[in-house]
Structure 1
Amino acid sequence: MTERMSVIVKQGITKMLTSKRQECEQEVIVAREALKDNLKSGKTIRNDDLADCCIQASWVKNQSRLKCLEKCLKKFDEAIGRVYDGTYGICISCQEEIPTERLRAVPFADRCVSCKNEKNSNASFNDRAHAVL
């Protein structure tokens, strides 16, 4: 997916990314509604430790899901930007082309599998190092 991408290919990729982004946007709406429902439940149910615990667990789950979905929206926006600037499909770490199979699996991927694994490995090592300190 180099800068030599044809206009038709760019349009197709942009259309696919935009469609996936819209699906994600719909999921964000659902997640926000679930959080609103959690708030309503929290206001009506009291004096029941089990119910409060369940509401809190549901809140944490829905809040986490919303954050994840919002990150996905941002990644789709970044991917669409890369299509326009001609860098979509190019690994931001090694500058090699990202295999088509990876882009089909993760349309907003900005790293090839090797570089993504290396990044995750380094992050995991840093997390362990901080935990020891």
Structure 2
Amino acid sequence: MQARDTAEVIRRFNQALEEHNPAIFEDLVAPDCVMESIQPAPNGTRYEGYDVNLTFWQAMAADRVNLFEVEDIFVMGDRANIRWRFHFGDDGSVRGVSLIRVRDGRIVEALAYAKIPGQSAPLPK
């Protein structure tokens, strides 16, 4: 039963971002939610609590210049992995993944990681 609940929370999470509907987040964020964003690299920023996480995600959803595109979702029990691409208007994009944990129908943890520009590893010879 937990995987179904988690899948529904993730469906609504993505719906809020794709439809630019910030209000959907009000019922998705747990009071003790912890989120780590991708910026600034390499460690990101840690956000703790309902208000700060709600504000962060609502701002993302309200943004009509940038676009959050879901590439793949995997749900197992109380956890979900979302592979995504974030488009910066006309200035390119970044790919990443969010590791999310759900408890009692709300997001309690969301850890985001992204591919960032850097030095390429040498190819094996």
What TM-score, normalized by structure 1, do the two folds share? 0.29
| Structure with max Cα Rg | 1
Give 1 or 2: higher helix fraction.
1
TM-score by length of 2: 0.30
Q: Is the strand fraction higher in 1 or 2? A: 2
